[in-house]
Amino acid sequence: MLGHHADPSRGRRPQKTGSTLLAEAGSAGVGRRSFLGILSGAVFLAAAPAALTACGTGAAAPQATTSGGLAETVAKLVPSYLPLDLVKPDIPSVNGSTPGFTSIPKSLVKSVATAPGSGGTYTVMTPAWWAVPPALPDNGYYKAVNEKLGATINFQVNDGNTYADKVQTVLASPKDVPDWMVIPAWNMPPRFGQAATSIFTDLSPFLAGDKVKKYPNLANIPTAAWKMGCFEGGLYGLPYPGALISDAIFYRADLFESLGVEPPASADEYRSVAKELTDASKNRWGSEDVWTGAQIMHGVVPKWKKVDGKLQNKFETDEYRAAMEWTAKLFADGSVHPDAVAGNSQQAKQRFESGATLMTSDGMGGWHEALARVLPSNPKFNMQPMDYFAPDGGKPTLFRAQPAAIFSFIKKTDPAKVEEMLALANFMAAPFGTEENVMINSGVEGVHFTRDGQGIPQATEKGTQEVTSTYAFLVNAPIVNSMVQYPGLVQSQSEWEARQAPNVKEDIFFGMQIQEPAKFGSLGKPFEDLAKDIIRGRKGMSDLDSAIATWKSKGGDELREFYAGFLA
């Protein structure tokens, strides 16, 4: 969510916006194809930071593990970034935006010359938010990939909805830890950094700096994603990279055109347009609850900002207050759908897609999912993201999404086995347009998938049963947008991201894995309900002042000191 408004607990359950991609995956109804589409479609969950150097009680300010600050420590651990140029996108990346492919490459590139493995056998634990596929020896997809790898990966696939409990149970008994283990950021237990150092392999001796040249596809993963895999002064996690920008404020471009209305370009215009569009007699309201988008529009920092040399929590900032006041006015205008006012966020997508609301805040993954649902019955359906604007209509301040939220970890073992697993990971991280990438994501052509007229892999019945995100969760290539099945989507989305990219900045703790002590875990939770009440007029801004005072006295100031230690 552009680095916004998520915490590890929220990552486990559905949110009101489609932007929290793995939160959506955490809901029982999400299928594999939908989930993978969210992942590959340039969306990313802005998971709250997890652990690096400070995993104790938080009573003392954290210290960097080497000379210099935390950022300097991490910089010495991560691999060099050596981007590959195997397949050129039709729409290049701009300042980190997602590159776009307006057609599927007709010929594939081979990025790994020979089978990388040397015959090893490894047990791997991974989550699934869909039906668990057959295991070996009954899974032809696993057999085919393992043959290409030159090694045997035995998957232990677990229910993603209860995966956090499984992770804690396994980590509590080191003898039960598999050779290779996938752990999403929101499933990392307290003091995970300490567990990482005692159980898993520090990969920096194998990958730091130019050592990664041995593994070109791993070197193709951007530095920021690697930083998120650093804990306790070591590099432990292999990352699943995410996108630069994840959320947008969407509008119904088809209905705007038919009504002769232009999309807004400032906060005041948004309210005016929403009021103009609202006509209860026609069951049409201008807006959904856009609290998430309002915070982004107003430049609300993900967690902390520095003001006059001191850290200020987002709840204390002028931007947060302004976003809340603006959203309250939007609700008071009567422009928000009554069901949204009542708190029914589950039907927000349906209201927007039916035309009952004409503007909404959602994740980029929600775009292609809506097209898949609506285009068959309404070919004219056209949702588009607004270019972000500051409240006054000037250039916005957008905070970058955290660059990775899924990681895999290699259990401490013989260095030769670590090197073999890294060679396997190099195969799995093959970029879009390569033979290896198609194999990992779709299986064997003619067995697990066929291609449609546009060259897009379409799963066969066997593919639906056997192919799932197992190998891909261990490590992945930088994401691209290749959803050519939706006319105009790739160009619209990639060009939109490229236009926003120059306004994206990193917050002061970007790329730092910081796990807050457990005692602070619920400190910010009261603000969630308070925001709903203030926005709907049930409480006032003075209640925000009271909540901030309570927050400070109950640990907020102590938490501030904790974070300040990372900037020392």
Structure tokens at 6: 């998520």
In b/e form, how buried is each residue of 128-166, taking b as 16+ CB within 10 angstroms?
Answer: bbbeebeeeeebbbbebbbebbbbbbbbebbebbebbeb
Say which residue the tokens 């949204």 belong to.
340
Query: Beta partners for 340?
Result: none
Q: How far apart are CA 141 and CA 147, in angstroms?
A: 10
The predicted pLDDT at position 69 comes to 55
Q: How far apart are CA 13 and CA 528, in angstroms?
A: 15
The predicted pLDDT at position 153 comes to 98
The predicted pLDDT at position 237 comes to 96
Reading the chain (568 residues) residue by residue, the pLDDT tens digits are 333 333 322 232 222 222 223 223 333 334 433 443 334 332 222 222 222 222 222 223 333 333 335 677 888 999 999 999 999 999 999 999 999 999 999 999 999 999 999 999 999 999 999 999 999 999 999 999 999 999 999 999 999 999 999 999 999 999 999 999 999 999 998 889 888 999 999 999 999 999 999 999 999 999 999 999 999 889 999 999 989 998 999 999 999 999 999 999 999 999 999 999 999 999 999 999 999 999 999 999 999 999 999 999 999 999 999 999 999 999 999 999 999 999 999 999 999 999 999 999 999 889 999 999 999 999 999 999 999 999 999 999 999 988 998 999 999 999 999 999 999 999 999 999 999 999 999 999 999 999 999 999 999 999 999 999 999 999 999 999 999 999 999 999 999 999 999 999 999 988 788 888 889 988 999 999 999 999 999 999 999 999 999 999 999 999 999 999 888 6
Q: 137, 39 in Cβ contact below 8 A? A: no
For 164-189, what is the HEC assignment? Answer: HHHHHHHHCCHHHCCCEEEEEHHHCC
Cis peptide bond N-terminal to 105, omega within 30:
no
The predicted pLDDT at position 314 comes to 97
CA atoms within 13 A on the CB side of 80: 10
Q: Can you spell out the DSSP letters for 405-449?
A: EEEEEEBS--HHHHHHHHHHHHHHTPPTTBHHHHHHHH-SBTTTE
Q: 82, 214 in Cβ contact below 8 A? A: no
The predicted pLDDT at position 246 comes to 85
Contacts of 64 (CB under 8 A, 6+ apart): 53, 70, 72, 73, 566, 568
Structure tokens at 138: 């009954």
Residue ranges of domains in the chain, CATH in brackets: 10-244+403-505 (3.40.190.10), 247-399+516-567 (3.40.190.10)
- Report the sign of the C-alpha dihedral through residues 158, 163, 169, 172, in that order: positive
Query: Beta partners for 285?
Result: 357
